Amino acid sequence: MKNYYVYCLSNFNNRVLYIGVTNDLLRRVYEHKHHLVSGFTAKYNVTRLIYFEQTNDAQSAIRREKQLKGWRREKKENLINQFNPEWKDLYPELISGD
């Protein structure tokens, strides 16, 4: 069964939030971190994975991404705070398997 992820990245001063969807979270975050994706995330150095959720349904992931993108920043921050109160970069834990 394939997994799909909705994720949120931020830059180092937490001023910018980016929400995306992917079927390979490790690869996609790696691309953002190494600026292999031109555009918004490269321009604003948005490289820290601060939130993600997983589903096995692509359409659900796309709907959720659109939902989160439509939220006001305060609501997004509350969701992130519940999941990752320190806003630490979660990518190192994902690649190490912790």
Report pLDDT digits (tens) over 75-84: 999 999 999 9
Give yes or no for a contact between 5 and 53, defined as CB atoms under 8 angstroms apart. yes
Report the residue count for the chain: 98
The helix or strand, by DSSP H or E, that contains position 89, with its residue range, turns out to be none
Task: Enumerate domains of the chain plus CATH numbers.
Answer: 4-96 (3.40.1440)
Nearest to 44 by CA among 76, 17, 72, 77: 17
pLDDT truncated to tens, each residue of the chain (98 aa)?
899 999 999 998 888 999 999 999 999 999 999 999 889 999 999 999 999 999 999 999 999 999 999 999 999 999 999 999 999 999 999 998 76
pLDDT given for residue 98 in this prediction: 64
Q: What is the pTM of this model?
A: 0.94
Nearest to 79 by CA among 54, 59, 52, 55: 52
